[in-house]
């Protein structure tokens, strides 16, 4: 009798061990993928400042911004949707989400209360999911925010080279260019990305204005006068 | 509507800022001030307004500054809001298109608390514009109509009347042109059942879901007896649903009234055998018919659903079949073992021992059928249309109609004499018309002023009739 | 030119315009719903009433909203829908009261018509008279690119 109980307990123990090992493996995989997306949770590595993380903004932003495209697709109620993203007066934050990703749930929840998003007045939120054959419409209907446009468009995922969800792209409607893109684990992180993209866009704009002023005075890019040392400038002044 | 009439316009708060709150303070303060010019009536009126505001729009009333009275009209009630006033505000309390206007379109607001979380329907009444043309706009120039753009007054519903030159377009499509919107009728009954000229194509405008007016809430039901038809009473107090039908005991000792929600009210010698009040119905009740003995009655819904009470047995219904148009009325056979239903397009449906003698279902009617009555032999029946047109079948004799007469208000019901040679019908303004050997005992025109007659029933010996109405 | 198509309708949209072609779910027995098209040169809010409720209060002076609302086949042959073919609009069709909800500065116009056997109402809301000439031209360009299937 005692032996039988011992055997059963051993079997249960083995099964539980296998189960825990599987869960740990799965957990590690999730951590690895989060890390790849810049949302790692390694306690030994301090969380980087969201303002400096994952925002793919090159130094000379205006030269490297990629073209943006309007979003065409379907709605959640058998409707056709065309959302203008370029050639318009406002900026658009494209939120590429899916119903299957756990991190996305944070954003679905956040978007449900549009009043608390704290988006700048000139930024419109548009949620983009994949097409109906890759996404569950019924699941989408249950999580989709009422106040934000939700477009099912795999084409938009391709157009914007979206690596996975969640992923965010900020488009300047006037310039028709992407101003910033990246991901985050929380809405606050994404908002910081937005702020940084705005600051960088301001910096880029300032550079353009300075270049224009210099050109007006006959100083072109690469002009030797731009590279003079403080001593040379002081000598010139004495002369 | 005493609640509104008793409150002078000057008592409206000038601004929502610093508005009265906590039960409008008036309710609490009135006990101290009742000896300083506040009558018991005004106290009751204020309490009623406070309670109404809480019932009609509790969140808005509690959370936003403003008076209870103002919240009775919902948002965007001011003149400059751009929306149109409710018809009951500008039409003497009647929730119907005023003379000189006609339904021209409708929309709905979904999930309305005013309609048991179902759709709430709004029907625009556009001014008639005579012979003026209008191109393809569907709307004639303001100069072609007799009403001028202004704001409604007298209640907190100060929205536009005769201003909005807009047409939803689902009703009276035979009219190429109409004028601006005079007002809007509001109902929980689908527009195509409310007015047969409206199609079933729906438009949605949820922005109007909370629009309201004091005159939309509650009505006093009354029954007027003529000839030897004795007064046995009427429901007390405001009724949330309109009375839609009346039928009387075989010996004239009493009668039943039925409201659109299926509530039944029994008076005199008529006994209560049950009702549908408080139950959720697919479609509203449109008529009542008693059994042969008077120990029961049937209620019929607009989808043809039949509900029998007492000894009124079920013999079939159209509840399970698709009707082109809603059921408008019913009448039972002399044996009590069958009944006929009539749809607003003139289609007749017979059940039990009721024999089919013909219908107007294949004919193109000028106006919808609104009621029917059977002959004493059970071998014929009449149908009456809203314009007073009468159609006789079987041994029912045609004794005249009002089709050639321009009625002020549409006909709403009919009753027959015991001879198969006469009948009465009643119009919405309470006017009674008698034909054949039906004796005219009087009309309710002056006594349902500001209200709407709903139906008529006659004594079995033909020596009088009752008119049921809301006011 | 972007093309939007659904429910037997196709619309070509110029740059900066956006649109929806939808058909609401019926919420009551016997109720019918048909295609409703919303086109605008501004960002359309998601909570829109069929004839612009929820949209027009936020419109700016240079904005324009175009609505195509379809009726059921029972409307065929009625006098209201006697006009044939997709209409064009002109400045004199617009009026400050020709609106479902007149709002300061806005102008509207309506046209009922039949196209390819289907009945529609065209409803246009312009943000202001200042930009009306440009708005009329833009709307006519959009209407010229509307295709109605059977």
Question: Could you report the predicted ipTM of this complex, rounded to two decimals?
Answer: 0.96
Query: Each residue of B113-152: pLDDT tens digit?
Result: 777 667 899 999 999 987 788 878 889 887 788 889 999 9
% pLDDT > 90, chain B: 52
Over residues A176-196, mean pLDDT:
87
In C, what residues contact A, Cβ < 8 A? 2, 4-7, 13, 15-25, 42-47
pLDDT score, position A60 = 31
Q: How far is CA B440 from CA A88, A108, A201, B273, B313, in A?
A: 73, 70, 87, 32, 34
pLDDT at B13 over 60: no
Cis peptide before A166 (omega within 30 of 0): yes
Cβ of B204 within 8 Å of Cβ of C80? The answer is no
pLDDT category, B296, cuts 50, 70, 90? very high
- Token readout for B367 is 């106006």
User: For an interface test with B, which of C55, C90, C100 has the most B Cβ atoms less than 10 Å from its Cβ?
Assistant: C100
pLDDT tens-digit map of B186-208? 988 889 988 889 999 999 999 89
Residues of C in contact with A94 (CB under 8 A): none
Asked if A146 lies within 8 A of C18 by C-beta distance, the reply is no
- The sign of the dihedral angle between the CA atoms of B195, B198, B200, B206 is negative
**Chains B, A in contact: 3+ Cβ pairs under 8 A?**
no
What DSSP letter does each residue of A172-232 carry, written as one string?
A: ETTTTEEEEEE--SSHHHHHHHHHHHHHHHHHHHHHHHHHHHHHHTT--TT-GGGG--HHH
Task: Give pLDDT, residue A40.
Answer: 47
Q: Quick check: A82 pLDDT over 90?
A: yes
Please report, for residues A56, A62, A171, A201, C150, the alpha-carbon distance to residue A59 in angstroms, rounded to integers and kept in the order given: 10, 9, 18, 10, 54
Residue-averaged pLDDT of chain A: 77
Is C16 close to A84, i.e. CB distance below 8 A?
yes
Return the exposure string of C120-150: e unless at least 16 CB atoms fall within 10 Å of the residue's CB, then b: bbbbbbbbbeebbeebbebbeebbeebebee
Instruction: Using the predicted structure, report yes or no on whether residue B300 has a pLDDT greater than 70.
Output: yes
Looking at chain A, which residue has its C-alpha nearest residue C62? A89
**Full-prediction pTM beyond 0.80?**
no
Average pLDDT value for chain B: 82
pLDDT of residue B8 exceeding 90, the answer is no
- Over the stretch B75-111, which tens digit does the pLDDT of each residue have? 899 988 999 999 999 998 888 899 999 999 999 998 8
Give me the residues of chain C with pLDDT under 70, please.
Answer: none
Is pLDDT of B336 > 80? yes
CB contact under 8 A, A82 and C13: yes
pLDDT of residue C53: 93
Cα separation, B415 vs B395, whole angstroms? 16
């Amino acid at each position: 009798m005692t032996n039988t109980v011992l055997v059963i307990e051993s079997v249960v123990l083995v099964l539980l061990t296998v189960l825990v090992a599987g869960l740990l493996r799965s957990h590690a995989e999730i951590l690895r993928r989060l890390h790849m997306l810049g949302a790692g949770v390694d306690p030994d590595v301090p969380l980087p400042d969201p303002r400096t993380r994952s925002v793919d903004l090159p130094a000379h932003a205006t030269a490297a911004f990629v073209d943006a495209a309007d979003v065409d697709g379907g709605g959640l109620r058998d409707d056709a949707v065309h959302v203008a993203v370029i050639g318009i007066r406002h900026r658009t934050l494209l939120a590429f989400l899916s119903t299957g990703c756990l991190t996305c749930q944070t954003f679905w929840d956040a978007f449900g209360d549009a009043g608390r998003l704290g988006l700048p007045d000139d930024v419109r939120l548009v949620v983009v999911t994949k097409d109906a054959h890759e996404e569950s419409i019924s699941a989408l209907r249950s999580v989709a925010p009422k106040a934000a446009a939700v477009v099912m468009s795999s084409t938009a995922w391709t157009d914007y080279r979206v690596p996975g969800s969640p992923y965010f792209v900020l488009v300047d409607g006037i310039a028709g260019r992407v101003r910033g893109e990246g991901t985050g684990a929380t809405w606050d992180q994404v908002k910081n990305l937005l702020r940084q993209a705005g600051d960088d866009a301001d910096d880029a704009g300032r550079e353009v204005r300075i270049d224009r002023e210099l050109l007006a005075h006959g100083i072109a890019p690469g002009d030797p006068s731009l590279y003079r040392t403080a001593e040379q400038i002081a000598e010139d002044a004495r002369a | 509507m005493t609640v509104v009439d008793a409150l002078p316009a000057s008592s409206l708060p000038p601004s929502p800022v610093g508005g009265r709150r906590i039960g409008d303070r008036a309710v609490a303060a009135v006990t101290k001030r009742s000896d300083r010019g506040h009558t018991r009536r005004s106290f009751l009126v204020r309490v009623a307004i406070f309670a109404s505001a809480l019932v009609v729009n509790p969140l808005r009333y509690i959370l936003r500054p403003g008076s209870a009275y103002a919240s009775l009209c919902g948002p965007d009630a001011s003149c400059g809001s751009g929306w149109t006033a409710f018809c009951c505000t500008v039409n003497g309390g009647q929730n119907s298109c005023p003379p000189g206007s006609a339904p021209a379109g409708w929309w709905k607001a979904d999930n309305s608390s005013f309609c048991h979380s179902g759709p709430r329907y709004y029907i625009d009444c556009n001014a008639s514009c005579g012979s003026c043309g209008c191109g393809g706009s569907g709307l004639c120039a303001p100069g072609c109509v007799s009403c001028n753009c202004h704001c409604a007054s007298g209640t907190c519903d100060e929205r536009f009347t005769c201003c909005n030159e807009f047409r939803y377009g689902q009703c009276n499509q035979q009219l190429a042109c109409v004028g601006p919107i005079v007002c809007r009728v509001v109902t929980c009954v689908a527009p195509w059942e409310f007015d047969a000229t409206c199609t079933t194509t729906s438009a949605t405008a949820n922005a109007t879901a909370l629009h309201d007016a004091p005159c939309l809430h509650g009505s006093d039901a009354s029954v007027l007896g003529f000839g030897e038809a004795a007064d046995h009473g009427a429901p007390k107090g405001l009724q949330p649903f309109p009375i839609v039908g009346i039928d009387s005991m075989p010996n004239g000792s009493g009668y039943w009234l039925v409201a659109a929600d299926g509530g039944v009210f029994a008076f005199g010698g008529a006994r209560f055998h049950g009702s549908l009040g408080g139950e959720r119905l697919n479609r509203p009740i449109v008529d009542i018919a008693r059994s042969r003995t008077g120990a029961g009655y049937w209620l019929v819904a607009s989808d043809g659903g039949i509900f029998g009470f007492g000894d009124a047995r079920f013999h079939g219904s159209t509840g399970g079949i698709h009707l082109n148009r809603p059921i408008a009325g019913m009448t039972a056979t002399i044996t009590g073992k069958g009944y006929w239903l009539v749809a607003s397009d003139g289609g007749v449906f017979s059940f039990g021992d009721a024999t089919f003698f013909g219908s107007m279902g294949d004919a193109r009617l000028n106006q919808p059928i609104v009621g029917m009555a059977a002959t004493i032999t059970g071998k014929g029946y009449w149908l009456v249309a809203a314009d007073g047109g009468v159609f006789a079948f079987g041994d029912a004799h045609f004794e005249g109609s009002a089709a050639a007469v321009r009625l002020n208000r549409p006909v709403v019901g009919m009753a027959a004499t015991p001879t198969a040679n006469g009948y009465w019908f009643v119009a919405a303004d309470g006017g009674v018309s008698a034909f054949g050997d039906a004796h005219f005992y009087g009309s309710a025109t002056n006594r349902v002023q500001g209200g709407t007659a709903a139906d008529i029933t006659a004594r079995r010996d033909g020596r009088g009739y009752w008119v049921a109405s809301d006011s | 030119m972007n093309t939007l198509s659904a429910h037997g309708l196709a619309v070509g949209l110029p740059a900066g315009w956006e649109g929806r072609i939808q058909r609401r779910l019926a919420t009551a027995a016997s109720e019918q719903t048909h295609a409703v098209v919303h086109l605008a040169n501004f960002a359309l809010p998601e909570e829109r009433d069929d004839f612009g409720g929820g949209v027009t209060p936020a419109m700016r002076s240079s904005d324009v909203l175009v609505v195509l609302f379809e009726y059921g086949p029972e409307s065929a042959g009625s006098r209201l829908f006697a006009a044939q073919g997709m209409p064009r609009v002109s400045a004199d069709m617009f009026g400050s009261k020709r609106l479902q909800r007149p709002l300061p500065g806005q102008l509207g116009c309506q046209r009922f018509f039949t196209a390819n056997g289907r009945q529609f109402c065209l409803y246009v809301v312009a943000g202001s008279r200042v930009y009306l000439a440009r708005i009329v031209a833009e709307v006519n360009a959009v209407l010229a690119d509307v295709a109605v299937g059977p």
